[in-house]
Structure 1
């Protein structure tokens, strides 16, 4: 089982982050139905923050669970993901992805 953490940096302004979140809301049921998907959730900073909490109002963290790299790669090639990338490209400034496995 793989855990994917994708940090999506949107352009400055609440409207950009909201546009990306709205686009995710449309595809989540379809993604969750994909073979090998065990979780797919966009996360934003909790407010009010505590002292040690890093915050970024232009960030969305996607927390994903995939059975294998092959399942993740197939997901990235689906028509709904290609449409999602196209629909959000004007709002996204940068994406950094971590693919993690259990350390024990």
Structure 2
């Protein structure tokens, strides 16, 4: 089982973050229906902030669970993901992806 953490940095301004969040809302059910997908969640900073919390209003985190590398690779090639990338490209500055497996 793989855990993927995607860190998506949007351009400054609530309209950019909201456009990316809206795009994820439109495709999340399609992703969850894919073979090998065990979870897909879009996360933003909790408000009001706690004193221990780091915040970034231009950052969206996506937490994913995939059965295998093969399933993840197939996911990245789907038509809905290609359309998603096209929809958000003008709102996103940078994306960092971590592909993790159990360390124990």
TM over 0.5: yes
TM-score by length of 2: 0.98
SS state of the match for residue 39, structure 1? strand
Superposition pairs for residues 40-51 of structure 1, below 5 Å?
40-51=40-51
Q: Report the aligned-residue RMSD.
A: 0.5
2:61 is paired with a residue whose SS is strand
**How far 1:50 moved relative to its partner?**
1.3
Q: Which residue of 2 aligns with 1:53?
A: 53
How far the C-alpha of 1:51 sits from its partner, in A, is: 1.4
1:37 Cα shift?
A: 0.2
- 1:28-57 CA distance string (max 9 Å, x none): 010000000000010000011111211000
What 5-or-longer segments of structure 1 have no aligned partner?
none
Q: In the alignment, what sits opposite 2:72?
A: 72
Cα deviation, residue 97, structure 1: 0.4
SS of the residue corresponding to residue 87 of structure 1 reads helix
Q: Which runs of 5+ in 2 are unaligned?
A: none
Per the normalisation by structure 1, the TM-score is 0.98
In 2, the alpha carbon distance for the partners of 1:40 and 1:55 equals 22
Instruction: Give the match for residue 13 of structure 2.
Output: 13
> Structure 1 residue runs of 4+, over 6 Å off?
none
